[in-house]
Amino acid sequence: MNPANPLIVQGDGKVLLEARHAQFDRARDFLARFAELESSPELLHTYRITPLSLWNAASSGVTRDEIVTKLRALSKFDIPEEVETKIDDTIGRFGLVQLHAHPDNLRTASGLPDAKGEFIRVAFKTAFVEKVVRATKTGKEMLLPDGKRFFKIAAGFRGIFKQRLLAENWPVEDLVGFVEGESLPMQLRQLTVAGKPFGLRDYQIESVNRWYMGGKASGAHGVVVLPCGAGKTVVALQAMATVQQHTLVLCNNQTAVTQWIREILDKTTLREDQVGMYTGQEKNLRPVTVATYQVLTYRRSRDADYEHLHLFRDQNWGLLVYDEVHLLPAPVFGATAELQGCRRLGLTATLVREDGREGDVFSLVGPKRYDLPWQVLEKKGFVAEARCYEVRVPLTTGERLRYEEAAEGEKFRIASENPIKIDIVREIVARHPGDNILIIGTYLDQLHEIARDLDAPLLTGETPQKLREELFRKFRTGVIKKLVVSKVANFAIDLPDANVAIQVSGSFGSRQEEAQRLGRILRPKALGAFFYTVVTSDSKEQEFAMKRQLFLTEQGYRYFIEERAA
């Protein structure tokens, strides 16, 4: 027992870390390897040790002894026995079931079995594990006998096998390796950005190194978690330069596709004829192809086949990049299950999935390899310090009566479209003369009215791509200072000069949305960053806003409340 230490480990798996302790940095870096950050307010950060976080750690080479020994060295009090038992039982499961290239496969130049082949060998560390796993539903359906001692699965079941066994609490260690894609020599270019030399930041280099793991069979698949504005695209470009093979990039919308292509051509040695887009408007397969999730999940009817999933097989891809991996649609999960022979990199600002499928990301894309919180980058000046405000406004007497008489399902929208919000938006805009302002909302009638009131352009999902690009260009160059945007602004809009975001309506209590909208203004800038949420007081909207606010408060952002009288 040492009360001077920075950690307290609780019996339920929570770990409390003093944020102002002299050993904070050391303890934070240690905890990030095997525990999930739940909240990071100013004084006390909270982590939680979960099965998935321990399996992520084990897949990166962290051992049970390393975790327990360092926890003891950093804890104020003894570690509860139940926590040690949980760590032992959970982390010890990883690697008890392993996948290997089948020895009958063709041999590579090094003499090892190639990742190609009809079957994959399944190995069990003990006879007991073999017996238990064979008795599972997955084992009964997929395991085939392979000689006297080993078992095998069909190579096409590689992803499904891992996905299903994880659901049965048997995390599989995949050591099969990868099929080599077609070669693509490339490198990052030496550039000057905004008058300063462009180069990889230390955390970007470290994230790629942790993902690639020196080219081992256990590496080159997994997820990198970095805040919006921290340069996740550059991480992917460095991964591409490391792998040097044909690459398929998947992202959320047409705007993101355009931005990805612009970054690839700007920051790498690849030529225009080597980079193509695959969207609803244009379908060009090139050595590097950037596509949308939407085109991959398109089908003519609910019962029809997905028409473009063949894209995964149309080229000899050596690397798949999943941008905004927390939004990966279910049909793409299925395609990803088939493509376990490709190296895979997932990028996201938050691994929170509202559908709870974080386990599927672990199984099919790979474990979390790197995670760096906002506050760390904020202290280093890589992302802006944001000031967050919630402005609470009343309903008029007539609107309040309408709200009280409405069905429960209608109350949220009535509160979200509170007409008084327009006056508040006008007032906030007046506070920031000369700043670059995004007004973001969900309901189009409300956004049209705000755009007319501010004499500002409006961008929605219906805005043609050519006009979108023109509006973004004008905003980036300062021709326009205010832009009203719908939910298309939630993801992959590269407007680095935006420093004020005003949120007038949102999607209930979505933590993803709150994080992504704040991320629109986190690029470092001299003007400072301001995030306003305008909500109707004493309403369903305020209830949901409190959930979103709590998420950001837990990440270390302070909210200031402004109450407006009736």
Please write the tens of the pLDDT for every residue from 192-248: 555 554 678 889 999 999 999 888 878 899 999 887 778 889 999 999 999 999 999
What is the average per-residue pLDDT within 236-265? 91
pLDDT at residue 135, as a whole number: 92
pLDDT at residue 556, as a whole number: 59
Percent of the chain at pLDDT above 90? 26
Give the model confidence (pLDDT) of 393-408 as tens digits. 999 888 889 989 888 8
pLDDT of 261 higher than 60: yes
pLDDT at residue 488, as a whole number: 67
Show Cβ contacts of residue 287 under 8 Å, excluding neighbours closer than 6 positions. 182, 184, 246, 247, 270, 274, 275, 315
Instruction: Give phi and psi for 553, each to the nearest 5.
Output: -60, -40
Please tell me the least confidently modeled range out of 52-56, 114-118, 291-295, 477-481. Answer: 114-118
For the chain, what are the domain ranges? 7-91, 97-174, 191-378, 384-563
Q: Where is pLDDT greater, at 185 or 386?
A: 185
pLDDT of 541 higher than 90: no
Q: Where is pLDDT greater, at 126 or 378?
A: 126
Q: Measuring CA to CA, which residue among 64, 71, 86, 85 is closest to residue 7? A: 71
What is the average per-residue pLDDT within 172-183? 89
CA 38 from chain center: how many Å?
Answer: 15
Per-residue 3-state assignment (H helix, E strand, C coil) for 314-374: CCCCCEEEECCHHHCCHHHHHHHHHCCCCEEEEEECCCCCCCCCHHHHHHHCCCEEEECCH
Q: For 191-378, give the CATH class.
A: alpha beta
What is the average per-residue pLDDT within 547-551? 63
pLDDT at residue 109, as a whole number: 47
Q: Where is pLDDT greater, at 528 or 202?
A: 202
pLDDT at residue 276, as a whole number: 94
Which CATH superfamily is 384-563 part of?
P-loop containing nucleotide triphosphate hydrolases (3.40.50.300)
Give the model confidence (pLDDT) of 420-479 as tens digits. 999 999 999 999 988 888 898 888 999 999 999 999 999 887 888 788 888 888 888 889
pLDDT at residue 274, as a whole number: 96
Range among 245-259, 307-321, 525-539 with highest mean pLDDT value = 245-259
Give the model confidence (pLDDT) of 267-283 as tens digits. 999 999 999 998 878 88
Instruction: Give phi and psi for 351, each to the nearest 5.
Output: -85, 5
pLDDT at residue 547, as a whole number: 65
pLDDT band at 335 (very low <50, low <70, confident <90, very high): confident
pLDDT of 536 higher than 70: yes
Rounded to the nearest integer, the mean pLDDT of the chain is 82
Give the model confidence (pLDDT) of 479-515 as tens digits. 998 999 887 655 545 566 778 889 888 765 455 555 5
CA–CA distance, 403 with 539 (Å, rounded to integer): 9
pLDDT of 3 higher than 80: yes
Please tell me the least confidently modeled range out of 7-21, 113-127, 146-160, 296-310. Answer: 296-310
pLDDT at residue 509, as a whole number: 44
Q: Find the distance separating the first CA and the last CA of the chain, reported in whole Å.
A: 56
Give the model confidence (pLDDT) of 67-110 as tens digits. 999 999 999 899 999 999 999 888 888 889 999 988 776 555 44
DSSP-derived secondary structure for 128-170 = HHHHHHHHSHHHHHH-EEETTTEEEEEGGGHHHHHHHHHHTT-
pLDDT at residue 114, as a whole number: 53
Q: Do 191-378 and 384-563 agree at the fold level?
A: yes
pLDDT band at 289 (very low <50, low <70, confident <90, very high): very high
What is the average per-residue pLDDT within 273-295? 89
Using alpha carbons, list the distances in angstroms from residue 91 to 51, 58, 139, 268, 349: 8, 6, 21, 40, 26
* Bridge partners for 191 per DSSP: 198
Q: Where is pLDDT greater, at 5 or 295?
A: 5
What is the average per-residue pLDDT within 510-536? 66
pLDDT at residue 465, as a whole number: 78
What is the average per-residue pLDDT within 108-119? 58
pLDDT at residue 311, as a whole number: 78
For residue 48, the surrounding DSSP H or E stretch is strand 44-48
Scanning 137-270, the segments in alpha helix (DSSP H) are: 137-142, 158-167, 202-212, 232-243, 254-267
For residue 16, the surrounding DSSP H or E stretch is strand 14-18
| Coil vs helix vs strand at 562 | strand
